[in-house]
Structure 1
Amino acid sequence: MRQAIRRSAIRRSDSRRSRRPGRPDRGRRWAAALGVGALVVTGGGLLAGPAEASATASVAVDFPTHCIPPAIAGIPPIDGTTSAEVTVDNAAPKVGDTVTVTYTVVKPAASNPVDLALPADIMTPTGKVTVAGAQTTEVTVAGPKKNDPVPGKGEFPSFSMTGTFTVTAPGEITLSPGDYNIHTSYIMELDTPCTVTDPPAPVSQTIIATDGGGEVNERTITLGTSSGAPGERVTVTGAGFTPGADVTVAGWNGTAITADSITSKAADSGAFTFRPEITDPATTGIVAFEGAGWDPAKGAGPQAYTVTTGGGEIPDGSQQLTSTVNPGTLTMSQAGDSVALSAVDFGQGGASTGALQTVTVQDFRGGPAGWSLTGKVTDFTGPSGATIGASALGWSPACATKSGSPSTCAAGSEGTVGSAGATLASTPDGAFTGGEFTVDAQLSLDVPAFTAAGAYTGVLTLTLT
């Protein structure tokens, strides 16, 4: 979805402007983390690439992981190694079958960073499993709030998460461990999202699907997050439903739907995006279906979802404090709406240069999605209908990330802008994204030597998605 569209008119004149992106403050402030269930990544070497997997047996794999401990711990992001295994309940399914996937983190790339011991059953893990091969999808998985006590500065125990997907095509299907998050409920609610550094991770399980011969239910749903506090809304995106049909998205408690539901119509494409509010702590998943009640033949899911609540014992003399952080929006602003490029001489031509007005991007959504800022330009029109083609404009982008931002901005490639457009800057998807960024670019218009004298104007359109 386009979040904002702004335009900058570019004129060629005798003046020149330039801007440089600011340098982010790299200073770090360490804070005390007394009595909180924070996590810190432990070091670990990067191991070999994907392991071979048979059609019936899974293998544990190691992959580099980037984790972001809770800010209150005062610990910067650290890269480590996760050992994990993905297993299924049916390694030879038929098209149309539902396969249960279990994602076990054998050794998390995390440990307790404080001296305070953490009690049992305060960790709620959630994550994703990457499905590729004959079909491509992402399975949401979630685990129970269950763990052994963790001593101060001790390693976190292994944990497992489960989810399901429907087989939609025959052939070899591979499953790889993906991003995961460890939520702790002890004195306060904290999250430590861990992302695969170089996705996808190695294949842990390979299954062989055969053609079932029957009608395949191609309805699917994906969740924006696999956990949330009571009353939070979860973004549910659906596809493959009957165009224009009434679709209900509801919580699932393991055997039936809950009262946490929302009903609206699917688009003409059969897709939808709903945001139900989930309050029932017994919720184990989210489903979507057509009709008056849950019917697997006309529905999708359940996709694993966990309601994260407190429940750890509060030490004597302590008080549990709860605060809510509301998600914001993705926006951009620019320092001005016109750029005067330098003049060139008739008969000489050459580079007419200048600098893009600085663009500030604020990603305050707090979700898993990154963003992309692109630009395209019109032909430059001058006196008596003379033109300079859009392909004559090139740029050299630069992007700076404000200190403390979860995401890191990447500048687009130097080259032609043109009418087809090019990427100015972007940030990747991740378990936890957001931040504030400044984007600049040096501009250069290649003016032919004997272009008619006069002023030429083109319009550069920037689009943030």
Structure 2
Amino acid sequence: MRSTVRRVSTRRSGARRHPARRRWAAALGVGALVVAGGGVLAGPAQALATASVPVDFPTHCIPPAIAGIPPIDGTTRAEITVDNAAPKVGETVTVTYTVIEAAASNPVDLALPADIMTPTGKVTVGGAQSASVTVAGPKKNDPVPGKGAFPSFSMTGTFTVTAPGQITLSPGDYNIHTSYIMELDTPCTVTDPPAPVSETIIATDEGGQVNERAIQLGAASGPSGEAVAVTGSKFTPGAAVTLAGRAGDRQTADTATVTADGSGGFGGRLTVTDPATTGIVAYEGGGWDPAKGAGPQAYTVTGGGGIPDGSQKLKTSVRAGTLSMIQDGDTVEMSAVDFGRGGASRGSLRTVTVEDYRGGPAGWSLTGKVTDFQGPGGATVGASALSWTPACATKAGSPSTCQAGSAGPVGSAGATLASAPNGTVTGGEFTVDARLALNVPAYTAPGAYSGVLTLTLT
């Protein structure tokens, strides 16, 4: 964290200063302004299995950048079903995530032909055990008219029951990948996770040895030749673990080896090149053994593959940047008020530009807090007397949308000036301003008063 606090003495003359712009660039940026007045300033329920039900939940979808339209905040209607509603501990349950009505629709005027959509997603497991199940669907769909609604689609995956009791299943984030003319994604995230429970199952304890090994994938799909992150838990500490692609009941040539740490966990990457891959597994020993492995977690190859004769594969990369802010100066001259009358001493915050070039899922928050205003002979105007009315504008093309904070007191405890929410893809440029007002008591001693407003970007 870099912090800059600069005090600038002010005079009644109201002479205006124009200091150079200053930049703070860091994951956590802090800046400061000196604000100066030109003159004065119940019991548990029984566990029961329930039939699956469709549920509705708010969803934030980000259309492909080529569509040139803003994010879509809508409602998804979905249902989770299972192949076994009363499994035993140690058994594998197949889950099907069906999106009945997607929050997003075809973002372009161009009609999409049949069988070009590949959906992937996550199912949230709760209750007796916690997990995130990767699910994937086939490249199969009815034709979609231009700007028309996406048709219903289903995705499947599996998880191993590790504990007896009531297990809940809720729909999670999903992604709609289209392969027509170009490869495009429309990721949709649950706005307020977890989504409502759609299916409840009851697991019974068979008393046998349970394989608790588990893996999770960093993504449910990707083009051929792309590496997917794989994390695991509950493997034998220090054991060599093979990561491998699966195509039905056979193993593909895509493999990698990692070593489990002292707690049995690991993190690795597997490059998937076989377009037939439908899942990824991890196992100990010389070959796939369900008793010493985990998975398969569903994985879909969405595009790419072999290079035709006479062609060349071109590769590049995009580097992640930083979260930073720029202040257009560090002094605010506020209007004078009269002794005996008091009232609002007004001014405008020096414009702050927020630049979010991290390229990840995290949003940001810009907050501010102010000190008491110090005047002549020890006189003060309390920090609680300063209020602001924030404003925030988003530069065109930015993935995120800036939200201005609420109008009201700033005070020494602080308040939010502006923010941008978390999302599947975030970033952009934002301009933040605020109207300032200091409520000065009528008989405040004459003279110059100043306080320090500190802005913090996280």
What TM-score results when the alignment is normalised by the length of structure 2?
0.66
One of 324, 329, 343 as aligned partner of 1:332: 324
Distance apart, 1:201 and its partner CA: 4.5
Distance apart, 1:14 and its partner CA: 1.3
Amino acid at match of 2:402: C
Residue equivalent to 2:82: 88
Residue equivalent to 1:118: 113
Measure the CA separation in 1 of the matches of 2:351 and 2:303. Answer: 43
Aligned residue runs from structure 1 range 299-338, under 5 A: 304-310=298-304, 326=318, 328-338=320-330
Give CA-to-partner distance per residue, 1:287-343, whole Å, 9 cap, x none.
78999999999998765444432369x9xxxx9997766253342322335132524
Amino acid at match of 1:398: A
Q: Which runs of 5+ in 1 are unaligned?
A: 17-52
8 Å Cα contact 2:29-2:323 kept in structure 1: no
Measure the CA separation in 1 of the matches of 2:39 and 2:284. Answer: 62
Q: Does 1:10 align with 2:34?
A: yes
Q: Does 1:178 align with 2:202?
A: no
Q: 1:398 to 1:56 in 2, by over 3 A?
A: same
Give CA-to-partner distance per residue, 1:90-149, whole Å, 9 cap, x none.
4346788765432122455545966666364x43211233445566665443334x3257
Measure the CA separation in 2 of the matches of 1:216 and 1:68. Answer: 40
Q: 1:409 to 1:79 in 2, by over 3 A?
A: closer
Residue equivalent to 1:358: 351
Q: Does 1:412 align with 2:436?
A: no
One of 396, 401, 421 as aligned partner of 1:403: 396
8 Å Cα contact 1:370-1:427 kept in structure 2: yes
Measure the CA separation in 2 of the matches of 1:435 and 1:225. Answer: 24
8 Å Cα contact 2:39-2:446 kept in structure 1: no
SS in 2 for 1:426: strand
Distance apart, 1:8 and its partner CA: 1.5
Amino acid at match of 1:190: L
Q: 1:87 to 1:395 in 2, by over 3 A?
A: same
Distance apart, 1:463 and its partner CA: 2.0
Distance apart, 1:86 and its partner CA: 0.9
Q: 1:390 to 1:119 in 2, by over 3 A?
A: same
8 Å Cα contact 1:112-1:150 kept in structure 2: no
Amino acid at match of 2:176: I
What TM-score results when the alignment is normalised by the length of structure 1?
0.66
Distance apart, 1:425 and its partner CA: 2.1
Measure the CA separation in 1 of the matches of 2:342 and 2:205. Answer: 65
Amino acid at match of 1:6: V
Q: 1:336 to 1:404 in 2, by over 3 A?
A: closer
Give CA-to-partner distance per residue, 1:64-98, whole Å, 9 cap, x none.
65644434456666677654321234434678876
Measure the CA separation in 1 of the matches of 2:407 and 2:439. Answer: 15
Report % sequence identity.
63
Q: Does 1:437 align with 2:430?
A: yes
8 Å Cα contact 2:225-2:305 kept in structure 1: no
Larger Rg: 2
Distance apart, 1:5 and its partner CA: 0.8
Give CA-to-partner distance per residue, 1:355-407, whole Å, 9 cap, x none.
32222233344444333333344555566776655444433222222233333
Residue equivalent to 2:362: 369
Residue equivalent to 1:20: none
Distance apart, 1:192 and its partner CA: 2.1
Root-mean-square deviation (CA), in Å?
5.3
Aligned residue runs from structure 1 range 8-407, under 5 A: 8-14=32-38, 55-62=49-56, 67-73=61-67, 82-92=76-86, 100-106=94-100, 108=102, 110=105, 118=113, 120=115, 122-131=116-125, 138-144=132-138, 146-147=139-140, 150=143, 158-164=152-158, 172-196=166-190, 201-208=195-202, 225-230=219-224, 232=226, 252-254=244-246, 259-260=255-256, 276=269, 278-281=271-274, 304-310=298-304, 326=318, 328-342=320-334, 343-344=336-337, 350-380=343-373, 389-407=382-400
Q: 1:311 to 1:286 in 2, by over 3 A?
A: closer
Distance apart, 1:460 and its partner CA: 0.4
Measure the CA separation in 2 of the matches of 1:238 and 1:447. Answer: 61
8 Å Cα contact 1:386-1:452 kept in structure 2: no
One of 454, 458, 461 as aligned partner of 2:455: 461
SS in 1 for 2:96: strand
Between the two proteins, the alignment pairs up a number of residues equal to: 417
Q: Which runs of 5+ in 2 are unaligned?
A: 2-25, 41-46
Measure the CA separation in 2 of the matches of 1:214 and 1:352. Answer: 75
Q: 1:295 to 1:156 in 2, by over 3 A?
A: same
Measure the CA separation in 2 of the matches of 1:73 and 1:116. Answer: 13
